């Protein structure tokens, strides 16, 4: 699609089980800023069934919401979503489309891009507007987080990007904001899904979800063996924190993948992040460095983790952590 006549910023508001995901608000916050810079409208698109708090999309910055509410969309059928989103884009011609780089977003947004034959940038951590050319500057980590690349989509529209969760901050809602919720009919006959969801099995071992935790205590290779994760768990318990991990313990099978923080794991942004026995490879830093406060405990004074740590203790974690647990428990 060529760029003539395209206007407005769109965000895809992802929901799961009728509840809007946090990333939907995060991209709305950034989308609002981009729309303001461009002097245009911000529209959220939402698919699902019996979705609660759709008006919150307005309160969080949308001028308009396109809502398709249909039982067929109660679970996220990727091919149906892709077809419907592409149809709405063709009809309304937005210049920018943002979606969360979640497992859903990263799997179905590329299909929308392929249908529309336009450009898509994956997993962006930076979004800006080139003032002169009015182009979306899409910045993302590449080479395993070692490098950053800024990418543009010059001629095709919309300019599409998936956005890494937890990179942009959700804004406080404004209940007085006015906007329009437009219900769109689901074109059942237009698309039929060839895939069927038969079952969903929840599999969360941690008691506190990593992405939602205010405090995370993570362990790394320095733990030496799986049993030593108990120490991390004890500290987490003393702090009311979730347990995270860098990649080596996950690769070694000491702890399930769902605990992994970093480039190939989860991106987290807690108020407090403890890195115990983690050297701080860029891949790990990519997933946690925007945490508000970072505490590093490592025996190697030159470990890169100390470069991003707010406070660091150079020492044997097997000595430091028990002391810390003791101290915290005494209080």
Partner 1 sequence: MNIIVCIKQVPGTTQVKIDPQTNSLVRQGTKNIINPFDSYALEEGVHLKERFGGKVTALSMGPPQAEEILREAIACGADQAFLVSDRLLGGSDTLATSYTLSRAIRKIADFDLVICGRQTADGDTGQVGPELAETMGLPFVAYVNKIEEVGAGQIRLQRMVEDGYEVIETSLPAMISVVKEINVPRLPSLRGLARAKSAAVIVWTAADIEADMSRIGLNGSATKVIKIFFPNRERRGEKLQGCMEEQVETLVQKLRESRVV
315: helix, strand or coil: coil
The CA angle 150-154-155, to the nearest 5 degrees, is 155
State both tokens at 320: 């430091």
Return the closest-CA partner of residue 27 out of 182, 107, 138: 138
Q: Are 48 and 186 in contact (CB under 8 A)?
A: no
Nearer to partner 1, 182 or 323 (CB): 323
Nearest distance in Å: CB 324, partner 1: 5
| Phi and psi, residue 158, nearest 5° | -75, 165
CA dihedral sign of residues 50, 53, 58, 61:
negative
**Cβ contacts of 35 within 8 Å, gap of 6 or more:** 8, 9, 41, 42, 63
Nearest distance in Å: CB 64, partner 1: 26
Return the closest-CA partner of residue 121 out of 62, 168, 164: 164
Strands 96-100 and 9-12: parallel
Nearest distance in Å: CB 138, partner 1: 8
Strands 293-298 and 311-314: parallel
CB atoms within 10 A of CB 16: 12
| Phi and psi, residue 257, nearest 5° | -55, -30
Place of tokens 């790990």: 284
Q: What is the rounded distance in angstroms from the CA atom of residue 221 to the CA atom of residue 37?
A: 45
Our measurement of the distance from residue 192's CA atom to the centroid of its chain's CA atoms, rounded to an integer in Å, reads 29
Nearest distance in Å: CB 53, partner 1: 20
Beta bridge partners of 313: 297
Q: Are 328 and 307 in contact (CB under 8 A)?
A: no
Q: Are 304 and 327 in contact (CB under 8 A)?
A: no
Q: Are 280 and 306 in contact (CB under 8 A)?
A: yes
Nearer to partner 1, 62 or 213 (CB): 213
Our measurement of the distance from residue 24's CA atom to the centroid of its chain's CA atoms, rounded to an integer in Å, reads 9
């Amino acid at each position: 699609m060529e760029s003539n006549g395209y206007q407005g910023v769109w965000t895809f508001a992802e929901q799961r089980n009728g509840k809007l995901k946090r990333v939907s608000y995060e991209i709305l916050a950034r989308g609002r800023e981009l729309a303001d810079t461009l002097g245009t409208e911000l529209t959220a698109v939402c698919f699902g069934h019996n979705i609660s708090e759709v008006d919150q999309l307005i309160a969080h910055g949308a001028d308009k919401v396109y809502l398709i509410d249909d039982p067929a969309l109660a679970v996220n059928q990727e091919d149906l979503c892709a077809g419907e989103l592409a149809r709405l884009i063709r009809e309304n011609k937005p210049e920018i489309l943002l979606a969360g780089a979640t497992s859903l977003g990263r799997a179905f947004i590329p299909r929308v891009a392929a249908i529309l034959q336009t450009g898509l940038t994956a997993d962006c951590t930076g979004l800006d507007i080139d003032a002169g050319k009015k182009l979306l500057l899409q910045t993302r980590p590449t080479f395993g987080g070692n490098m950053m690349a800024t990418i543009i989509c010059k001629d095709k529209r919309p300019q599409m990007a998936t956005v890494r969760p937890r990179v942009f901050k959700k804004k406080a809602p404004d209940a007085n904001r006015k906007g329009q919720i437009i219900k769109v009919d689901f074109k059942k006959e237009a698309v039929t899904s060839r895939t069927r969801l038969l079952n969903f099995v929840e599999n969360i071992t941690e008691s506190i979800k990593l992405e939602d935790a205010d405090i995370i205590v993570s362990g790394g290779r320095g733990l030496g063996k799986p049993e030593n994760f108990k120490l991390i768990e004890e500290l987490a318990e003393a702090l009311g924190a979730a347990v995270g991990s860098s990649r080596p313990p996950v690769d070694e099978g000491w702890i399930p993948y769902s605990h992994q923080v970093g480039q190939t794991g989860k991106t987290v942004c807690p108020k407090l992040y403890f890195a115990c026995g983690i050297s701080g490879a860029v891949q790990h830093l990519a997933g946690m460095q925007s945490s508000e406060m970072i505490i590093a405990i490592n025996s190697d004074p030159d470990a890169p983790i100390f470069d991003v740590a707010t406070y660091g203790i150079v020492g044997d974690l097997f000595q430091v952590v028990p002391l810390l647990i003791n101290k915290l428990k005494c209080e």
